[in-house]
Structure 1
Amino acid sequence: MVKIPNTFGLTVTAKRLIKWPSQQALFKPDESFIIVGAGSNLLFVDAEFDGQLIQLEQDEFIIEQTASDYLVTLGAGLNWHQTVKRLIDAGIDGLENLALIPGTVGAAPVQNIGAYGVEFSQLCESVTGYNLQTQQVETLNNQQCQFAYRESVFKKQLKDKFIITQVTLRLTKNWQANLSYGPLAELNNPTAIQIFEQVCLIRQSKLPDPAKLPNAGSFFKNPVVEASVFNQLIKQDPNIPNYPQADGKVKLAAGYLIDKAGLKGAVYQNAKVHQQQALVLVNQGGSCGVEIANLAAMVRQTVLALFKVKLNPEVRFIGKQGEVDSAQFLDLLIAENKK
């Protein structure tokens, strides 16, 4: 048995560890597996994972150029934040808004990570990996990755069928600052490194360091609701933050809803809603995954009752046999707690 790394500070084990690709021959395709870098976006709801833990070794860092762009190919095992800084130090800008997001490069396309007005999908040229069904290395272009808000083909059709080994980014040489997120708008004609530093300061002020207080960052996705739902909400609260979408729907701030529900500092066993950032659930010490999930269920139920809006986890839930539907898992807990 091997311990599975995770930023929630949970003690979880897998049957065996496989380093990919050096130990690829040990992989058993008929057994369940999970790919874990830092485990920064995972909640293990069982103490054991009855399968294989894969950790990626790829650390390529290849820069090519066209007249207008940099094409940057990155190994999936690289640390994301360190890679962002490495590129900026090399004079290649474009990822600065995504600074200090925990995890590895290989995890970025799965979740289509995003922050401060930028999403991974906007910069992704292609994703390369090993297709377990065809047993071939394949490259998917941006469109084939089917990116959406915190979604991708790697969470749907290719879930448990594709091991990402590389990503290639296209970063323009005609860089322009993206200051669409509120606090960044205060910057006056900033450089990429200044945006990078500001994003780091904002994240450090809002989000607890997992090394000091175990957490997985933002626990819930920002909900996207129909215009009719939003029209009712704004009558209820004229100050509710809102972000109109191209399809007529409206994105809301999950943290704001949780805060307005009076849940900052709410506790379930040893799990707690962070007092400074309502979107973050923390392990105060000795908590198990189900306790954290129960706290999340309480948050989901309370926000639904007050605002008629369902919050869905951004964090992925892993059970004994593999990933489980996080929203369904929370609804089952809610049902059990009502008995």
Structure 2
Amino acid sequence: MKNSVTLKPLNSFSIDVRARRVITVHTEAELFLLWQKAMNDDMPVLVLGGGNNVLFMENYAGTVLLNRITGVKIEEYLDVWHLHVGAGEVWHHLVRTCLEKNIPGLENLALIPGYVGSAPIQNIGAYGVELKQFCDYVDVLHLESGTLHRLSATSECQFGYRDSIFKHALREHYIIVAVGLRLPKVWQPVLTYCGLAHLDPQKVAPGLIYNTVCTMRQAKLPNPMLQGNAGSFFKNPIIDASKAKRFLSRYPNAHYYPQPKGVMRLAAGWLIDHCGLKGYRLGRAAVHDKQALVLINADNATGEDIVALARYVRQQVLERFSVWLEPEVQFIGAFGEIDVL
């Protein structure tokens, strides 16, 4: 039975690895019982949503649990909509459902791959909007006791740029089972991103932003069903005010996002592109030819093929710009997450 189930369709890089078993779970109780069984059997266990932010480096030696706890509950109040969403809901489907029900706010986050349960881990963001702007709470299952806990988005989730407490203190013993969202009825379009800046804030509708975002993403980003990838492979690096001033004096045309107190978030895709790496191929992995922030599985690549390319890209950016890129993806070995970069 060892390594008997393929994981290729369950990870967006389409890495051809296997696991001992794969089980789909639909309730918190089921998730807890299966986790406990794996622990009692001394077997490693990994919970996956859509497998969109992981890179498997080898066959997984244990059980993979697919979190498919679903359900969307919407409550309407005088000035706000409250949504309680199961972790196993597809994120893009949620965005589309909200717009169909005339509930705006999430349109800038359209077509972000993955499931709702993964959204708080990364504090997903795109086109000027982050999850933390709308997140009210996150419900988690404590895997040792089976108890449920509700964490406040403002005081407990510790959201940061592509970061949260779920990447740190809670990553070992808690699993996200639901997310609470708060969407104000007084809607303000977010058009700060250059691809949306041409839209008239006085006339634009949520549906137009949604369609524009979908068009931009489909034009720039490869479909994981056709070319294995995890979206943005690297985070946009952040540099302090003094380094930012020196950087801009040397590269005045650089793409960046101003932050408080003179801090600057550089566009990692711009850095990679200006190292001449857009479309660059190393073995069976490649930098995407339209968006340099995306690394793709070009020809049945292994996890090591992708990592070799990532190391090369990071080294080139370091040598050219003296900026260190950090990966967004998690690297999974035979017994769990590992550090390979």
When the two structures are superposed, what TM-score results if normalisation uses the length of structure 2? 0.92
The AA in structure 1 aligned to 2:264 is V
The percentage of aligned residue pairs carrying the same residue is 44
Moved more, 25-34 or 285-294: 25-34
Are 1:260 and 2:274 counterparts? yes
Does the CA contact (< 8 Å) of 1:33 and 1:160 recur in 2? no
Say which SS state the counterpart of residue 145 (structure 1) adopts.
coil
Task: Give the CA deviation at 1:260.
Answer: 0.5
> For residue 3 of structure 1, what is the aligned residue in structure 2?
6
Are 1:170 and 2:185 counterparts? no
Give the one of 11, 36, 40 matched to 2:52: 40
Cα offsets for 1:36-57 (capped at 9, x unmatched): 12211111112x1122211112
The AA in structure 2 aligned to 1:310 is W
> For residue 324 of structure 1, what is the aligned residue in structure 2?
338
> For residue 16 of structure 1, what is the aligned residue in structure 2?
21
Task: Give the CA deviation at 1:200.
Answer: 0.1
> For residue 161 of structure 1, what is the aligned residue in structure 2?
173
Are 1:248 and 2:242 counterparts? no
Alignment of 1:113-124 (within 5 A): 113-124=124-135
> For residue 334 of structure 1, what is the aligned residue in structure 2?
none
Quick one: distance in 2 between partners of 1:32 and 1:161?
13
Task: Give the CA deviation at 1:247.
Answer: 4.2
Alignment of 1:262-277 (within 5 A): 262-277=276-291
The AA in structure 1 aligned to 2:20 is K
Say which SS state the counterpart of residue 187 (structure 1) adopts.
coil
Describe the shift of the 1:23–1:126 C-alpha distance in structure 2 as closer, same or farther (beyond 3 A). closer
Are 1:211 and 2:216 counterparts? no
Alignment of 1:283-294 (within 5 A): 283-294=297-308
The AA in structure 2 aligned to 1:107 is S
Moved more, 256-265 or 313-322: 313-322
5+ unaligned residues in a row in structure 2: which ranges? none
Cα offsets for 1:284-309 (capped at 9, x unmatched): 12110110000000000110011110
> For residue 98 of structure 2, what is the aligned residue in structure 1?
87
The AA in structure 1 aligned to 2:298 is Q
Say which SS state the counterpart of residue 325 (structure 2) adopts.
coil
The root-mean-square deviation of aligned C-alpha atoms, in Å, is: 1.4
Does the CA contact (< 8 Å) of 1:71 and 1:170 recur in 2? yes
Aligned length: 326
> For residue 26 of structure 1, what is the aligned residue in structure 2?
34
Alignment of 1:50-69 (within 5 A): 50-69=61-80
> For residue 278 of structure 1, what is the aligned residue in structure 2?
292
> For residue 81 of structure 2, what is the aligned residue in structure 1?
70
5+ unaligned residues in a row in structure 1: which ranges? 331-339
Moved more, 2-11 or 72-81: 2-11
Say which SS state the counterpart of residue 144 (structure 1) adopts.
coil
The AA in structure 1 aligned to 2:24 is K
Moved more, 166-175 or 227-236: 227-236
> For residue 196 of structure 1, what is the aligned residue in structure 2?
210
Does the CA contact (< 8 Å) of 1:18 and 1:24 recur in 2? no
Does the CA contact (< 8 Å) of 1:112 and 1:151 recur in 2? yes
Task: Give the CA deviation at 1:99.
Answer: 0.1
Cα offsets for 1:108-152 (capped at 9, x unmatched): 011110000000111100011211244311111102111111111
The AA in structure 2 aligned to 1:114 is G
Quick one: distance in 1 between partners of 2:269 and 2:131?
22
Give the one of 294, 297, 312 matched to 2:326: 312
Are 1:135 and 2:140 counterparts? no
Task: Give the CA deviation at 1:23.
Answer: 5.8
